[in-house]
């Protein structure tokens, strides 16, 4: 049998990979990357097919047909998208069925029986998805009715506890690549606050906008203007590489200073400089000279560093 495995590198899909190997399946592991994952690289696995679904994902996050979970996580629509893509890959590989590491009732939004069935239906994958960790508790799939797998091989794991999966992993000597949370930023309240602000003020969200949400302190200066201030050397370097005209690049010279990225209306530049000064080592000075650069032209302005009280007004 030939299968496409939705593989994240987490505990559950790593276990299922091992189970499929024991079944002697021909496995086509598929990792779906989207920009809202906190990991920078795909897990390491031979023959892993990596598919970037970031563009589809931005639309889903903005307008999820089946709503959000606790934060801005549109889990049901996300799973539907993943199964649709997995089905395309299955066709391409002329495979028999799709396999996932999902566990019944493990996640509140997308893994109750009713939701699993809805997701299969909406993705046009009814009967096509085998979930070995909970399969004994789920309706039969085509793989069983067509005799490709024996129902007795399916496990009956259920619920949020990781105990059974962890003890299986220990016995099988498996070290998962990712944490159980899967590193999805859409479940992170701080990230979601910045994302909600972006969706409120920007109609057309680009890949770069999401990348910027992952770094720095964010300040909303007006409907069209934002300032992002680096928090450490790595973020400062990233900010410098992400400046793109007509953005301004701000910093305080000759002292410990963050790099800051200003996007928007120039009339807010002085306020942005004052915030940048507040995070520099000169924050206690009465006035601070802040450099601002557009393309290759660097100018300077003297500002009074923003007070803590004022910071709170602009911070997202
Ligand atoms: S937590 Fe994130 S990656 Fe996981 S199903 Fe929900 S939206 Fe998708």
Judge whether 149 and 23 are in contact, CB under 8 Å.
yes
The topology under which CATH files domain 2-185 is Rossmann fold (3.40.50)
d(CA 102, CA 82): 13
The confidence score (pLDDT) of residue 39 equals: 81
The confidence score (pLDDT) of residue 207 equals: 87
- Average pLDDT across each block of 10 residues of the chain; the chain has 316 residues. List them in order: 96 96 97 89 90 92 95 96 98 98 92 97 98 98 97 96 93 75 85 97 92 97 98 97 96 98 98 98 98 96 96 95
d(CA 10, CA 169): 11
73 φψ region: left (φ > 0), alpha (ψ -120 to 50), beta (else): beta
CA angle 230, 233, 208 (to 5 degrees): 50
Pocket of ligand 1 (CB under 6 A): 73-75, 78-79, 110, 182, 184, 186-187
- What is the Å distance from ligand 1's center to 248 Cα? 34
- What is the Å distance from ligand 1's center to 303 Cα? 44
CA atoms in the 13 A half-sphere facing the CB of 255? 17
Long-range contacts of 284-288 (CB under 8 A, 24+ apart): 288/252
The confidence score (pLDDT) of residue 40 equals: 75
Judge whether 218 and 238 are in contact, CB under 8 Å.
no
Q: Considering only CA atoms, which of 69, 41, 43, 74 is closest in space to residue 57?
A: 74
Domain ranges of the chain: 2-185, 215-314
- What is the Å distance from ligand 1's center to 73 Cα? 6
Element (H, E) at 249: strand 248-251
The confidence score (pLDDT) of residue 175 equals: 81
Report which ligand 1 atom has the smallest distance to the Cα of 79: 5
**Hey, how many other C-beta atoms are within 10 angstroms of the C-beta on 254?**
9
- What is the Å distance from ligand 1's center to 296 Cα? 41
d(CA 108, CA 51): 26
**Residue 167, token pair as written in the block:** 């003890």
**Hey, how many other C-beta atoms are within 10 angstroms of the C-beta on 26?**
11
**Residue 292: φ, ψ to 5°:** -135, 135
The confidence score (pLDDT) of residue 179 equals: 57
d(CA 10, CA 107): 14
First to last CA, the chain: 51
The three-class DSSP label of residue 196 is: helix
The confidence score (pLDDT) of residue 183 equals: 85
Judge whether 70 and 107 are in contact, CB under 8 Å.
no
CA atoms in the 13 A half-sphere facing the CB of 119? 24
Burial profile 263-291: b = 16 or more Cβ within 10 angstroms, e = fewer: bbeeebbebbbbbbbbbbebbeeeebbbb
Whose Cα sits closest to atom 6 in ligand 1?
75
**pTM score, whole prediction:** 0.89
Judge whether 83 and 98 are in contact, CB under 8 Å.
yes
d(CA 148, CA 137): 18
- What is the Å distance from ligand 1's center to 95 Cα? 25
């Amino acid at each position: 049998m030939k299968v496409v495995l939705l593989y994240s590198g987490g505990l559950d899909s790593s276990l299922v990979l091992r189970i499929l190997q024991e079944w002697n399946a021909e496995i086509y592991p598929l990792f779906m990357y989207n920009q809202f994952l906190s990991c920078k690289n795909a897990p390491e696995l031979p023959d892993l097919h990596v598919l970037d679904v970031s563009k589809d994902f931005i639309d889903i996050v903005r307008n999820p047909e089946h709503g959000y979970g606790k934060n801005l996580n549109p889990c049901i629509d996300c799973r539907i998208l993943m199964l649709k893509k997995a089905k395309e890959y299955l066709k391409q590989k002329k495979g028999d069925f799709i396999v996932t590491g999902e566990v019944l009732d493990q996640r509140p939004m997308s893994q109750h029986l009713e939701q699993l069935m809805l997701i299969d239906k909406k993705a046009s994958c009814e009967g096509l998805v085998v979930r070995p960790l909970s399969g004994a508790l789920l309706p039969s799939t085509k793989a069983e009715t067509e005799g490709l797998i024996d129902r007795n091989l399916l496990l009956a794991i259920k619920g949020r506890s990781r105990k059974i999966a962890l003890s299986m992993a220990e016995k099988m000597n498996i070290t998962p690549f990712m944490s159980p949370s899967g590193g999805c930023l859409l479940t992170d309240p701080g990230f979601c606050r910045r994302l909600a602000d972006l969706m409120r003020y920007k109609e057309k969200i680009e890949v770069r906008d999401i990348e910027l949400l992952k770094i720095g302190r964010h300040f909303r200066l007006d409907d069209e203007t934002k300032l992002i201030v680096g928090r450490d050397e790595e973020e400062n370097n990233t900010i410098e590489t992400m400046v793109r005209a007509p953005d301004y690049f701000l910093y305080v010279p000759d002292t410990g200073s963050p790099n800051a990225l200003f996007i928007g209306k120039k009339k807010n530049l002085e306020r942005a400089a004052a915030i940048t000064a507040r995070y520099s080592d000169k924050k206690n000075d009465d006035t601070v000279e802040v450099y601002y650069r557009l393309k290759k032209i660097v100018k300077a302005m003297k500002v009074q560093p923003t007070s803590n009280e004022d910071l709170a007004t602009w911070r997202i």
